[in-house]
Amino acid sequence: MMTECLEKAVKEKNVKIFDKLQVIKILTNNERLFGLLCIDLQNLDNPNQRYVAFNCKNVIYATGGPAGMYADSVYPLGHYGATGIAFEAGVMGKNLTEWQYGLSSINPRWNVSGTYMQVLPKFISTDKNGNDEREFLFDFFSDKGDLLTKVFLKGYQWPFDVRKIDGGSSIIDILVYIETCIKGRRVFLDFRENPGGEEIDFSTLAPEAREYLERAGATFGTPIERLMHMNAPAVSFYKDKGVDLHRETLEIALCAQHNNGGLSIDKWWQTNVEGFFAAGEVSASHGVYRPGGTALNAGQVGSTRAAQYIAVNRKGDPLDLDTFRDATLNAISDTIAMGEAVLADDNNVDKLWQNVSKRMSRFGAAIRSIEDIRKVTEEIKSELANFSSLVKTSSGKNLHKVYRLYDILICQYVYLMAMVDYVENGGKSRGSALYTDKYGNLPYDNLPDIFKYTLDDGSRGNMVQEVMYKNGECEFNWRKVREIPEDDDFFENVWRGYRNNGNIY
């Protein structure tokens, strides 16, 4: 609804919208923006019309987080991100290691937080074909009351948090990850029956969970009956999207939900590339933790401040066409040639994308073994080096996927290398990321050793990791966080500044 209102407001101002265009190259040189190269999604079959170049002085890049990297994702369908080609263009990255991951339904994509967990649904896993059903949580928990309490707490201890593994509800996330990513099974929530198929003895729950359900009047019946009692719209939400929780199970996974890091920006949301601004989730405007609502706020504030700065300090025409052509022709030609080179009789784009996104969800999401990540980065380097010979499509209609795959591979490489650099600089588990530490603590004896970890001591809390992607390699820098400035808000000074430059500088 918000984006619909925004689009309506733009149209009312007669602002021209170039629709159905996908950016495939950011045209820069020496940290200066020249324009964009796009592929026209309505002319993919026409080699003479499928590429469109924009000669522009400023770009506000609002492509969202790099959702396409992950197979297990709660980002909306159709949301892929385009951070990789920004790295390729020389834009600096920051805080790339910091994400939020949490339990979410796969179809439709939605966080299963709040009452979806508090009504205590049954967790089941099956093989890939939906057979061999079992309640896998009972394989881990010997105390049913403890199991139910952890599920309940998952409702408002969302997302996955390494501080809440040992004795907390994030053990549920880990058990789901084991089933899906390690064992290759599928996990579902079943609201039709109680865990174990029996009536729940609510007295076995921890006081926090029991008292909450008692106050809600929900110590009765089945999960779906409790959900209808506590939050009927939550049931309607899924029914409106084709899933009737009264009749069927809901498939879930441990999914990527939000990237707290991204492209490095200044106070006007301009990156290190002159004229290139990043707003919304694509920008690195958050740290290890991100309170609810801050992402929406940052997107609104960032885009406004970028527009204000451009209106005051970056007005004027772009380059004349001859200069633009001379500055960008080689980059445009090389990018187009890469796409044309993959046209063949075969078509493997979808399969490759599926494989690399599953690999990222396995090795580069909430659970991170640096030993495994190093192997994956070598695989990605090879895939990028051999991209034109590795990737094939039999139709120009798939070229947009080819360019997205290229973007995703660059993005995965830079993000994974950031994780490696973080650990090499002494970083430990924090936020929504567990880094395997063979000398660390195994919170439960019946977990695999990959879940040994050490909580970060916070000593890097005042440091920021920055990265530049140059010639296929990553260069990292660590700097101290900037001090919060002391504003001079004396009225006469603010008023004078506003008269001089609108307080935009």
Residue 1 has pLDDT above 80, yes or no: no
Distance in angstroms (rounded) separating the CA atoms of residues 257 and 156: 15
On whether residue 491 sits in a domain, the answer given is: no
Which one of 235, 257, 279 terminates a domain? Answer: 257
- 86 in the same domain as 46: yes
The pTM (predicted TM-score) of the whole model is 0.96
| Cα torsion 394, 399, 400, 404: sign | positive
Domain count, the chain: 2
On whether residue 381 sits in a domain, the answer given is: yes
What pairs with residue 39 in β-bridges?
22, 51
- 209 in the same domain as 81: no
Q: What angle do CA 360, 362, 366 make, to 5 degrees?
A: 90
Q: In this structure, are residues 95 and 415 in contact, taking their beta carbons and an 8 Å threshold?
A: no
Give the pLDDT band of residue 490 (cuts 50, 70, 90).
confident
- Strand (E) or helix (H) holding 482: none
Q: What pLDDT was estimated at residue 290? A: 78
Cα diameter, the chain: 78
- Residue-wise pLDDT for 233-284, tens only, equals 999 999 999 999 999 999 999 999 999 999 999 999 999 999 999 999 999 9
Q: In this structure, are residues 469 and 87 in contact, taking their beta carbons and an 8 Å threshold?
A: yes
- 340 in the same domain as 384: yes
Distance in angstroms (rounded) separating the CA atoms of residues 282 and 421: 21
What pairs with residue 469 in β-bridges?
474
Give the pLDDT band of residue 455 (cuts 50, 70, 90).
very high
Region 300-329: mean pLDDT is 95
Q: What pLDDT was estimated at residue 229? A: 98
Residue 445, Cβ density class (10 Å: 0-12 exposed, 13-18 middle, ≥19 buried): exposed
Distance in angstroms (rounded) separating the CA atoms of residues 65 and 260: 9
- How would you label 459-473 residue by residue, b for 16+ Cβ within 10 Å and e otherwise? ebeeebbbbbbeeee
Q: What pLDDT was estimated at residue 296? A: 81
Closest Cα partner for 467 from 409, 413, 431?
A: 413
Q: What pLDDT was estimated at residue 127? A: 98
Distance in angstroms (rounded) separating the CA atoms of residues 337 and 51: 11
- 244 in the same domain as 288: no
- 206 in the same domain as 78: no
Q: Give percent above pLDDT 70 in the chain.
A: 100
On whether residue 10 sits in a domain, the answer given is: no
- 395 in the same domain as 286: yes
On whether residue 495 sits in a domain, the answer given is: no
- 24 in the same domain as 53: yes
On whether residue 485 sits in a domain, the answer given is: no
- 463 in the same domain as 315: yes
Distance in angstroms (rounded) separating the CA atoms of residues 275 and 319: 13
At 349, which CATH number?
A: 3.50.50.60
Task: Give every CB contact of residue 476 below 8 A, 6+ residues apart in sequence.
Answer: 417, 418, 421, 465, 466, 467
Give me the count of residues in the chain.
505
Range of the domain at 133: 101-257
- Residue-wise pLDDT for 120-135, tens only, equals 999 999 999 999 999 9
At 152, which CATH number?
A: 3.90.700
Q: What pLDDT was estimated at residue 504? A: 85
Q: What pLDDT was estimated at residue 295? A: 79
Which one of 257, 279, 307 terminates a domain? Answer: 257
- 336 in the same domain as 220: no
- Residue-wise pLDDT for 156-189, tens only, equals 898 999 999 999 999 999 999 999 999 999 999 9
Q: In this structure, are residues 370 and 436 in contact, taking their beta carbons and an 8 Å threshold?
A: yes
- 244 in the same domain as 159: yes
- Answer left, alpha or beta for residue 224, where phi above 0 means left and psi between -120 and 50 means alpha: alpha
Task: Give every CB contact of residue 395 below 8 A, 6+ residues apart in sequence.
Answer: 45, 343, 347
Q: What pLDDT was estimated at residue 110? A: 97
Give the pLDDT band of residue 381 (cuts 50, 70, 90).
very high
Region 219-242: mean pLDDT is 98
On whether residue 2 sits in a domain, the answer given is: no
- 116 in the same domain as 66: no
Q: Give percent above pLDDT 90 in the chain.
A: 89
Q: What pLDDT was estimated at residue 503? A: 83
Report residue 304 as tokens.
């406004």
On whether residue 317 sits in a domain, the answer given is: yes
Give the pLDDT band of residue 331 (cuts 50, 70, 90).
very high
**Phi, psi at residue 198, to the nearest 5°?**
-125, 165
Least trusted range by pLDDT, from 95-109, 145-159, 362-376, 474-488? 474-488
- 436 in the same domain as 360: yes
**What would the DSSP string read from start to end of 317-329?**
----HHHHHHHHH
On whether residue 151 sits in a domain, the answer given is: yes
- Residue-wise pLDDT for 68-95, tens only, equals 999 999 999 999 999 999 999 999 999 9
Residue 488 has pLDDT above 80, yes or no: no
Region 285-310: mean pLDDT is 87
